[in-house]
Chains A and B, each alone.
Chain A
Amino acid sequence: MRHTPYRWHKPLTPWVFVLPTVVGLLAFKLLPIVSALYFSFTEWSLLGSPLFIKLANYRELVSSEVFVRIVRNTVQFSFVYVIGSMVFGLALAVLINVQTRGIAFFRAAIYLPVVTSAVAVGIVWNWMLGPTYGVINNLIEAMGMTPPYWLADMKLALNTVATVQVWKMSGYYMIIFLAGLQNINADVLDSARVDGANAIQSFFRITVPMMASTLFFVLTITIIDSFKNFELIYAMTKGGPQNASNTLVYDVYLNAFVYYRIGYASAIAYVLFIIVALMTIFNFYVRKHLVEGLD
């Protein structure tokens, strides 16, 4: 049976519905992205007009020792975060993938840090990691060891912040992994057990391969999330000591909103854009060559 088309429906009608989103995307995403590219070739303090200085910002970046260190920190933070989040997220998902009394409490408890303010998390971890009164260092001392300066040691500060970020976000990835785990047909695992596979063999030879697409999805979003590290760095180290925990995102903030070097900050943002673009290409490569066959 053919429905009579609604009288008010015209060819342009769908555009009316998508227009707010399109306008929003153009005004608040695309335009700033394109503007930032232009600003990256300028010197601008927000006062007055931008002064076109060609490639001077990029030349300054390339010749800056501090910037090289910041790029290295960003990659290191990503590495720790991606590996940590995937391992802990999956481990937590496996642990709570059981039906037992009170499991909902543990699921909620593990998820709680995800929805807690990053600044609050940073302050509480600062207390816990405090050298004199911090509970973690007191425990280490009670075991007869000398605790390190988690946030003041140049070799530890970045990894400490990245680990706190892993702690905060693992619950989120756990939920995604949990959904993946619950999609695995229990019969397959049962037959493996009947065939004599132990728990470790089942996990690595059945569970992990059958979750390949979930793993790839989590890998993609952890890589993207690994660059969103501003709040914890602001709350815990402010990029110190001596730039040891400064990353590209924090440096964009410093240059744009503390030093008001909008042009230089835009150039840093574009370097970050290039790194994220390369990561995305790598992701597509992995998906095409390693994951699709397993879907």
Chain B
Amino acid sequence: MKKLTTFIVILVVVGTLFAAGTKEAKAEGAPITLEWWTWDPTMAEENQQIIANFERENPGVKIANTIVGTAEYWTKIRIQANQNKLPDVFTMSSGYIEEWAKEGLLYNLDSFVERDDTFDLFYQSIFDTNKAISNSDSYYAIPFALVTTVLYYNKDAFDRAGLAYPTDGWGWDDFRSAAKKLTIDKNGDGKIDQWGYWFYGRYAHVEPWIYANGGTLLDRSTMRFSPDKKAMDAMKMLTDLVLVDKVAPAPKDMSAFQQQDVFPQGVAAMWVDGSWFVDTFRKNVQHDMRWGIVRVPSGPSGSNTLTYGWPDSYALAPNTKHPEMAWKFARYVAGEGIGLDTYMAGKIPSAKKLATDPLFSDPNQQPGKDMDLLIEQAAGPMTTSYSMGWGEWRGYGGSEALGLNGTIDAIVNGLMSFDEAFRRSTESINAVLKRYYK
């Protein structure tokens, strides 16, 4: 019994000394571990490289990177938010900034942005796009890349048809005229083998035309779906490409394709989608096809200098214990401390030193100097239709067959007339918006 008592006393004394020592170490060395969540599993190696460099430059700081696949990312990080366990730094989508900022789940970065001369290093226009999307007067996220929408065109198809390549100065008539000449039944079997253009109701296929015609989908004063005449004209022009001009296939005819494969497989000669497909085409198409990018043609009532573009960003947890270090790491990983090789081609770095790197428009890779367009777009005015509930009313991801996406598909697939489809969808879209903006 005596032995046991002695043993317990020794244990307590040693334990107390150990605890005291740990406290001391914390007070002196203050080792910090930052949790960093991202959604792109293909960037695992690049992330480890970034972490190694940052940790070397910042002794005592450890970065723990968790990569969650895009499909589960939002569910998992919402649960983290619910439990007050948001990672110190995490990837944030433009589609959710407004909702998360309103819920108080994003660290307000205004003081950091002002204090650190942030815009000497980063494009202010991209930060301001984020601010506009958040529907507030503050910066809630630090953008690491901007994505825009462009017109992709198949140079080989244009050459075969003896047509001049598209230019930024194109209008709807130039586009329609080229699309007609590029719609070809090669073997005379009565079936079109090469379409002039390809689109369906997808946001990145439709909105660029609306904005390049000066139109809007939402009335921002009431936050209701209220496409103006310019927007309706743009959507009518698009649906007529299938129904009247017959220069684009109906989506129901392309159902066996992944939507992003129609253009690179040569089934359509022109296509509008996100700038990130530059990376996909470089990897998959390589030199099998020559292609270029230009601005989406201007509508008769607008100008294509207004770009449909949005940033991907990093946000800080509002309750992070290390806001200074989290901000430092977020800036680092947003571009200040990394190289162009860690970027997906077609995403425009928000850090000036990366965007102005000559390798961004690498002449040895397609589309060569056309890539300068993306930098021009980043410096110019931008707009989006993001709102709370956007994914639901727009029809995105798992709900792609529904919402506004499903409405446009129903028109071009011949299921509903243009007027009937918009009468119905205006009602259902506003039912969604009313839930968020009462």
Binding site for B on A (CB under 8 A): 45-48, 66, 126-127, 129-134, 149, 151-152, 154, 234, 237-243, 246, 253-254, 257-260
Q: A126-B255, A238-B398, A258-B399 are in contact. Are A47 and B406 (CB under 8 A)?
A: no
Q: A47-B99, A48-B103, A259-B392 are in contact. Are A240 and B409 (CB under 8 A)?
A: yes
Tell me the residues in window 380-433 of chain B with beta carbons closer than 8 Å to chain A beta carbons: 389, 391-392, 396-402, 406, 409-410, 413, 415-416, 428
Q: A258-B391, A259-B389 are in contact. Are A152 and B256 (CB under 8 A)?
A: no
Contact, CB under 8 Å: B78 / A131: no
Specify the chain B residue showing the minimal Cβ separation from A262. Answer: B78
Q: Smallest Cβ distance from B252 to chain A, in angstroms?
A: 3
Binding site for A on B (CB under 8 A): 74-75, 78-79, 81-82, 99-100, 103, 105, 191, 251-257, 389, 391-392, 396-402, 406, 409-410, 413, 415-416, 428
Separation of A90 and B389 alpha carbons in the complex (Å): 47
Q: Smallest Cβ distance from B411 to chain A, in angstroms?
A: 11
Contact, CB under 8 Å: A258 / B406: no
Q: Which of A149, A243, A260 contacts B78 (CB 8 A)?
A: A260
Pair count A-B, CB < 8 A: 92
Separation of A238 and B395 alpha carbons in the complex (Å): 11
Contact, CB under 8 Å: A239 / B401: yes
Q: Smallest Cβ distance from A204 to chain B, in angstroms?
A: 41
Contact, CB under 8 Å: A154 / B415: yes
Separation of A48 and B397 alpha carbons in the complex (Å): 24
* A133, A152, A257 — most chain B CB neighbours (10 Å): A152
Q: A130-B256, A149-B252, A257-B75 are in contact. Are A241 and B410 (CB under 8 A)?
A: yes
Contact, CB under 8 Å: B402 / A243: yes
> Ordered nearest first, which 10 A-B pairs have the shortest CB separation?
A240-B401, A130-B256, A152-B252, A46-B78, A238-B401, A258-B398, A259-B392, A47-B103, A149-B252, A127-B256
Contact, CB under 8 Å: B391 / A259: yes
Q: List 16 A-B contacts (CB under 8 A).
A: A46-B78, A47-B82, A47-B100, A47-B105, A48-B82, A131-B252, A134-B256, A238-B398, A238-B400, A240-B400, A240-B401, A241-B409, A241-B413, A253-B398, A257-B398, A258-B397
Contact, CB under 8 Å: A237 / B399: no
Separation of A240 and B398 alpha carbons in the complex (Å): 10
Q: A234-B398, A238-B401, A254-B398 are in contact. Are A132 and B191 (CB under 8 A)?
A: yes
Contact, CB under 8 Å: A237 / B256: no
Separation of A178 and B406 alpha carbons in the complex (Å): 44
Separation of A237 and B398 alpha carbons in the complex (Å): 10
Q: Smallest Cβ distance from A247 to chain B, in angstroms?
A: 13
Q: Smallest Cβ distance from A111 to chain B, in angstroms?
A: 27
Q: Smallest Cβ distance from A158 to chain B, in angstroms?
A: 12
In the complex, what residues of A have CB within 8 A of residue B398's CB? 234, 238, 253-254, 257-258
Specify the chain B residue showing the minimal Cβ separation from A258. Answer: B398
Separation of A253 and B399 alpha carbons in the complex (Å): 10
15 new A-B contacts, CB < 8 A, other than A46-B75, A129-B255, are A46-B81, A47-B99, A130-B255, A131-B255, A132-B253, A132-B256, A134-B256, A152-B251, A152-B252, A240-B409, A253-B398, A254-B402, A258-B396, A258-B399, A259-B392
Contact, CB under 8 Å: A241 / B406: yes
Separation of A246 and B416 alpha carbons in the complex (Å): 19
Contact, CB under 8 Å: A259 / B255: no
Contact, CB under 8 Å: A47 / B81: yes
Q: Which of B74, B251, B256, B391 contacts A126 (CB 8 A)?
A: B256
Separation of A87 and B100 alpha carbons in the complex (Å): 52
Separation of A133 and B261 alpha carbons in the complex (Å): 14
Q: Smallest Cβ distance from B277 to chain A, in angstroms?
A: 20
Separation of A273 and B344 alpha carbons in the complex (Å): 45
Specify the chain B residue showing the minimal Cβ separation from A250. Answer: B398
Specify the chain B residue showing the minimal Cβ separation from A238. Answer: B401
Specify the chain B residue showing the minimal Cβ separation from A260. Answer: B78
Contact, CB under 8 Å: A152 / B255: yes
Q: Which of A45, A134, A152 contacts B413 (CB 8 A)?
A: A152
Q: Smallest Cβ distance from A86 to chain B, in angstroms?
A: 30
In the complex, what residues of A have CB within 8 A of residue B416's CB? 242
Contact, CB under 8 Å: B392 / A133: no
Q: Smallest Cβ distance from B218 to chain A, in angstroms?
A: 18
Specify the chain B residue showing the minimal Cβ separation from A153. Answer: B252
Q: A132-B253, A239-B402 are in contact. Are A258 and B413 (CB under 8 A)?
A: no
Separation of A200 and B379 alpha carbons in the complex (Å): 78
Specify the chain B residue showing the minimal Cβ separation from A134. Answer: B256
Separation of A149 and B389 alpha carbons in the complex (Å): 31
Specify the chain B residue showing the minimal Cβ separation from A65. Answer: B428
Specify the chain B residue showing the minimal Cβ separation from A50. Answer: B82
Q: Smallest Cβ distance from A73 to chain B, in angstroms?
A: 13
Q: A46-B78, A47-B82, A47-B105 are in contact. Are A241 and B399 (CB under 8 A)?
A: no
Contact, CB under 8 Å: B399 / A239: yes
In the complex, what residues of B have CB within 8 A of residue A246's CB? 402
Contact, CB under 8 Å: B401 / A241: yes
Contact, CB under 8 Å: B256 / A133: yes
Specify the chain A residue showing the minimal Cβ separation from B389. Answer: A259
Q: Smallest Cβ distance from A88 to chain B, in angstroms?
A: 25
Q: Smallest Cβ distance from B334 to chain A, in angstroms?
A: 24
Specify the chain B residue showing the minimal Cβ separation from A243. Answer: B402
In the complex, what residues of B have CB within 8 A of residue A234's CB? 398
Separation of A192 and B79 alpha carbons in the complex (Å): 65
In the complex, what residues of A have CB within 8 A of residue B253's CB? 131-132
Q: A46-B81, A47-B81, A127-B256 are in contact. Are A259 and B399 (CB under 8 A)?
A: yes
Contact, CB under 8 Å: A47 / B78: yes
In the complex, what residues of B have CB within 8 A of residue A241's CB? 401, 406, 409-410, 413, 415
Q: Smallest Cβ distance from B416 to chain A, in angstroms?
A: 8
Q: Smallest Cβ distance from B39 to chain A, in angstroms?
A: 15
Specify the chain B residue showing the minimal Cβ separation from A46. Answer: B78
In the complex, what residues of A have CB within 8 A of residue B81's CB? 46-47
In the complex, what residues of B have CB within 8 A of residue A149's CB? 252, 255, 413
In the complex, what residues of A have CB within 8 A of residue B399's CB? 238-239, 254, 258-259
In the complex, what residues of B have CB within 8 A of residue A152's CB? 251-252, 255, 413
In the complex, what residues of B have CB within 8 A of residue A238's CB? 398-402
Separation of A240 and B251 alpha carbons in the complex (Å): 12
Separation of A240 and B81 alpha carbons in the complex (Å): 32
Specify the chain A residue showing the minimal Cβ separation from B416. Answer: A242
* B256, B257, B396, B410 — most chain A CB neighbours (10 Å): B256
Separation of A294 and B99 alpha carbons in the complex (Å): 61
Separation of A32 and B391 alpha carbons in the complex (Å): 26
Separation of A152 and B75 alpha carbons in the complex (Å): 30
